[in-house]
Amino acid sequence: MILSKISNPVKYIHHHLQHLQINIKKLIFPNDHTTKTFWIINIDSILFSLFLGIIFLLFFYYIIIRLSIKNPSKFQIFVELIIEFINKNVKDIYSGNNVLVAPLALTIFIWILLMNTMDLIPIDFIPYLLNVTFDIPYCRIVPSADINVTIAIALVVFILIIFYSIKTKGINGFLKELITQPFNSYLFYLVNFFLESITLLSKPISLALRLFGNMYAGEMIFILISGFLPWWLQWTLSVPWAIFHILIIFLQAFIFMILTIVYLSMATKTHDL
């Protein structure tokens, strides 16, 4: 929430959509004034992602070192329920025997869930504290609303898909699937390769854009509520939207996890060619 009416909502929205950035190219080549965004790094997204990842690891480590079979704590029971939930989905979807899939699914689910949950924090709270304390002008606290973060996670999944496809089928088998599916005829090899390449590349793109689009839209709605309503009226819209947004936060983390398991399961299946 904000404590006073926004004089210029457009500038307010633009301000909250601006990342805390560092231009690597300007640091290395200060006299080069060409504008290329490839060299720009969103520091806020990286730092909050790392911060939430460390919280995730420390919390689970805390539970592990205090593990008790006879007298489990409430936190231990909570963690066991999450692990059981992940394991059940992996067993139902993944047909192979891979020790990496369950930990990967757990990491993706919890990490994305934590990043999404940052969207429930009032949009002016942390940026205001950082501005007052460290004179930081811009800051976005929802890493999953940054397309760079979602693409990075999706690319890791994509690399694993390629790796396990080649490991299971071999390079020849992997390439053969690209040219012989879905039409097993030499007349359609080029068509098959085109269709299968699109299918393969669409997996990381769909993972990244689905998560980014939903979280960016949710963040934008909170910004619009704060920018166009006085502070004493904001709760009438922000509270109902936050309650509904909790479902989106959980659902997007769950969908990303499920699709990761599905894609890895598909990568380890062989076809009779």
Active site residues: 206, 210, 214
CB atoms within 10 A of CB 100: 10
Q: How far is CA 1 from CA 6, 48, 52, 140, 149, in A?
A: 11, 21, 23, 15, 26
First to last CA, the chain: 60
Query: Is residue 203 a contact partner of residue 213, using CB atoms and an 8 Å limit?
Result: no
Q: What are the residues facing 40 on neighbouring strands?
A: 23
- Residue pair 52/118 in contact (Cβ under 8 Å)? The answer is yes
Select from 228, 264, 263 the least CA-distant residue to 2.
Answer: 228
Strand partners, 42: 21
Ramachandran angles phi, psi of 261, nearest 5°: -65, -45
